[in-house]
Amino acid sequence: MSESARPAEPIEDFEDLYDSAPCGYLSLTDDGRIFLANRRISQWLGIAQAELIGRRIQDILSVPGRIFYETNISPLLRMQGFVDEVAMDFLTADRIKVPCLVNASERRDSEGRLQFTRLAIFQAAERRRYERALIDTAEATRAEVTSERETSQLREQFIAVLGHDLRNPLASIASGVRLLTDRETLSVKGQRVLLLMQGSVGRASDLIDNVLDFARGRLGGGITLNRDAQAPLTPVLEQVVGEIVSASPERDIRTYFAIAEPIDCDRTRISQLLSNLLGNAVMHGAKTEPILIEAKSDRERFTLSVVNGGRPIGEAAMARLFQPFFRGEIRPNQLGLGLGLHIASEIAKAHEGELTVASDESHTRFTFSMPLARRVEDPD
Amino acid sequence: MSVLQRNNVQLAGQGDRAMVFAHGFGCDQNMWRLVAPAFEDGYRTILFDQVGSGASDLSAYSADRYGDLQAYADDLVEICRELALHDAVFVGHSVSAMIGVLASLSDPSLFADLVLVSPSPRYIDDGAYLGGFTAADIDELLESLADNHLGWSALMAPVIMGNPDRPELSEELTNSFCRTDPAIAKDFARVTFTSDNRTDLSKVTARTLILQCREDAIAPVQVGEYVRDHIAGSEMVLLDATGHCPNLSAPQNVIAAIRAFV
């Protein structure tokens, strides 16, 4: 067994380390001139070491690199004494760019005066190309998002304008129908047709209101309330029910109102909410079962619920019920925009209240509930 | 948000006259760290960050509003009016030299003296005029700026933008005082390097001093001479300094030249 001598520790050759290090080294005088350069950087740039000496660092940088050096790197060096991970393009003797990453630090004397600046330069063509691709992708994505956003805003504005413009002809139709109902003698069949038309006009008008509210909400306006703490709510709710009853005379719709008036709320909005809930119940509830509307108030809260029979709402549907454009399982003759419940829940929120739903095999119940904290007490 | 908060205006010093320092493209009011304190004994010193730079209110920035140098000049006028300045000394570096010129044309009562440090009324060559760059150079600059703003993210912005209560946070971040939202840096670079204020020079009525470095890759000597030749009665001092930022590389020379002038 031979005695194997431990190999001697290798001795680093510092002169060679400087010249052949796997990175370029430059040392700059206080006014930015190269006074020392290693062989590596000389090889990369194809410029002899001796020829680099005395040149200004800016002379071997690309134009953007030169501007960035003057406006950012040089101030940073003076302020903090170093910079790390700066991207710079150096220029070869043939003015071809060599993409690099650079760390630099200042050497200062005991008084803090700058003696010289050292640069360590790493070729980074691959990495810089990869980063450039990332930046390009990010910029392309940003441009796409901006353009999409503009398009969708335009679309929403268009919807808002369209909805608004539809109101006028619809109002003419409504007053025409009213005129015929009040002033003309019509056959039984004619009266039935007018009744249907009235219901359709009402529904169309509700749809427009919902679309307008939705567009306004998306455009940043949100649901605005016009509260009235004095006027009674019951007659307004009764009117909504009356309209639906006359449009769907075959349905059994029952009301239980026990409201301690007045309720401090936006009555137009609450009737829009009820109209949406009731329209929903008529459309989706079992035709053979009654629809119940309960409205009541105690000292703390006002609650309004609409109950219908029929199949329960599935769990998946439940989760998205109040989202805009949700339409459940679409069946023939049940087309709508799917905004009704969304707007109703927005109206509830605007009243600092909530809209909830409970659904089982026997009933589906939507309940709107709002606090009465804002209630104005009778002065006495 | 008030104008003074928007531009992160910092007041120091005492005296009858005010001296306003404006930083150029690239960094923020820290550029004056080695110069401004020398004037605190005798002057009210006013430092600020251009909107989009330093600790200015980034939410006040929009590319539309800051589409030209006049918008920055308007901000400067607002700051001066807010502080009720009259016949103040304006010291502007780099692009802010021209911003000061525009502000003094908007309201000549604001500044009695203009000190233009490394100014350029136009960076791009134009016929016989040699600004130092071609249009293609500037396009290349705008393209490449993002290469050095990789570390930026909106999340880091509040930290970078200065957090006086927790200085250790910013110390962890190198290069912090030159960090800018890359999109804003690109806009500001475009506005700066495509500006042309040559025709404004002859309208200047304030006393004007031009401080020029010997070797400045951004604003070469012939550009400083052009400014001197076109502002009536102005004088130019050639500093014994190289580079574009004598306020950092040769602060004593800058201080001495300003003192001799005002």
Residue B152 has pLDDT above 80, yes or no: no
Stretch A53-63: mean pLDDT: 93
pLDDT band at B205; cut points 50, 70, 90? very high
DSSP A148-197: HHHHHHHHHHHHHHHHHHHHHHHHHHHHHHHHHHHH----HHHHHHHHHH
Pairing of strands A82-91, B14-22: unpaired
Q: Please give, rounded to a whole number of angstroms, the shortest distance from the CA of A70 to a CA of chain B.
A: 6
> For the residues B189-218, what does the mean pLDDT come to?
95
The predicted pLDDT at position A83 comes to: 87
Q: Which domains does chain B have, with CATH numbers?
A: 3-122+196-261 (3.40.50.1820)
Tell me what pLDDT residue B81 has.
Answer: 96
CA dist B227 and A215 (Å) reads 55
Are the C-beta atoms of B15 and B42 separated by less than 8 Å?
Answer: yes
| AA letter at B39 | F
Query: Which pLDDT score, from 0 to 100, does residue B237 have?
Result: 96
Return the number of other C-beta atoms located less than 10 Å from residue B99's C-beta. Answer: 27
Give chain A's length: 380
Q: Which residue, among A234, A319, A313, has the nearest Cα to A280 in the 3D structure?
A: A313
Tell me which chain A residues have a C-beta less than 8 angstroms from the C-beta of B218.
67, 70-71
pLDDT in tens, A190-242: 988 888 888 788 888 888 888 887 777 766 666 778 888 888 899 889 988 98
For residue A379, the Cα-to-chain-centroid distance in whole angstroms is 46
Whether residue A332 is predicted with pLDDT greater than 50 in this model: the reply is no
Q: Cα separation of B218 and B130, whole Å?
A: 12
Tell me the two tokens of residue A216: 């306004």
Tell if the CB–CB gap between B144 and A131 is shorter than 8 Å. Answer: no
Q: What is the DSSP letter of A133?
A: H
| Among candidates B150, B175, B249 on the partner chain, residue whose Cβ is nearest the Cβ of A78 | B249
| Residue with the two structure tokens 């399982």 | A329
Query: Can the peptide bond before residue B158 be classed as cis, meaning omega within 30 degrees of 0?
Result: no
Q: What is residue A2's predicted lDDT score, i.e. its pLDDT? A: 52
DSSP codes joined into one string, A311-366? SPPPHHHHHHTTSTT---S--TT----S-HHHHHHHHHHHTT-EEEEEE-SS-EEE
Q: What is the dihedral of CA B6, B10, B14, B17, to 10 degrees?
A: -50
Burial class (CB in 10 A: 0-12, 13-18, 19+), B60: middle
pLDDT above 50 for A379: no
A14-28, B145-159, B228-242: segment of lowest average pLDDT: B145-159
Is A70 in the B-facing interface, judged by CB distances under 8 Å? yes
The tens digit of pLDDT for each residue in A266-279 reads 988 898 899 889 98
pLDDT of A328 over the 90 cut: no
Q: Please, are residues B17 and B88 in contact by the beta-carbon 8 Å criterion?
A: yes
Q: Exposed, middle or buried, B125 (CB in 10 Å: 0-12/13-18/19+)?
A: middle
Give the HSE-up count for residue A245: Cα atoms under 13 Å, Cβ half-sphere.
14
DSSP-assigned beta bridge partners for residue A36: A27
Chain B residues with CB under 8 Å of A68 CB are 141, 144-145, 148
List of chain A residues whose C-beta atoms are within 8 Å of the C-beta of residue B133: 63
Residue A322 pLDDT class (50, 70, 90 cuts): confident
Q: Report the range out of A144-148, B83-87, B170-174 with the highest average pLDDT.
A: B83-87
Residue-level pLDDT at A112: 83
Domains of chain A from N-terminus onward: 18-123 (3.30.450.20), 144-218 (1.10.287.130), 234-371 (3.30.565.10)
Mean pLDDT on B188-214: 95
* Residue B204 pLDDT grade (very low, low, confident, very high; cuts 50, 70, 90): very high
Chain B residues bordering chain A (beta-carbon distance below 8 Å): 24-27, 30-31, 33, 94, 133, 137, 140-141, 143-148, 150-151, 174-175, 177-178, 193, 215-218, 241-245, 248-249
pLDDT of the residue at B65: 94
Give the one of B143, B144, B178 whose C-beta lies nearest to A75's C-beta: B178
How far is Cα A271 from Cα A239, in angstroms, rounded to an integer?
A: 9
Q: How confident is the model at residue A343 (pLDDT cuts 50, 70, 90)?
A: confident
Answer yes or no: is pLDDT of B176 > 70.
no
A213 touches chain B (CB under 8 A): no
When comparing pLDDT for A129 and B162, which is higher? Answer: A129
SS3 state of residue A56: strand
**Which of the four pLDDT bands, split at 50, 70 and 90, describes residue B146?**
confident
For B76, how many CA atoms within 13 A lie in the half-sphere containing its CB? 33
Structure token digits, residue B223 = 């550009």
DSSP letter for each residue of chain B:
--HHHHTT-EEE-EEEEEEEEE--TTS-GGGGTTTGGGGTEEEEEEEEPPTTSTTS-GGG--TTTTSSHHHHHHHHHHHHHHTT--SEEEEEETHHHHHHHHHHHH-TTSEEEEEEES--SBSB-BTTB--SB-HHHHHHHHHHGGGG-TT--TTTHHHHT--TT-HHHHHHSTTGGG---HHHHHHHHHHHHT-B-HHHHTT--SEEEEEEEEE-SSS-HHHHHHHHHHSTT-EEEEEEEESS-HHHHSHHHHHHHHHHH-
- More confident of the two residues B116 and A136: B116
Active site residues of B: 94, 216, 244
Using alpha carbons, select from A72, A64, A100 the residue that is nearest to residue A85: A100
Q: At residue B160, does pLDDT exceed 60? A: no
Ramachandran angles phi, psi of A305, nearest 5°: -130, 150
Q: How far is it, in rounded angstroms, from Cα A50 to Cα A334? A: 86
Distance CA B230, CA B200 (A): 9
CA gap A259, A141 in Å, rounded: 55
Q: Predicted ipTM? A: 0.85
DSSP string, B45-101: EEEEPPTTSTTS-GGG--TTTTSSHHHHHHHHHHHHHHTT--SEEEEEETHHHHHHH
pLDDT score of A79: 84
Cα A133 from Cα A220, distance rounded (Å): 36
- DSSP category for residue A73: I
pLDDT of residue A229: 81
> Mean pLDDT across chain A, nearest whole number?
86
What is the pLDDT, as a whole number, of residue A219?
61
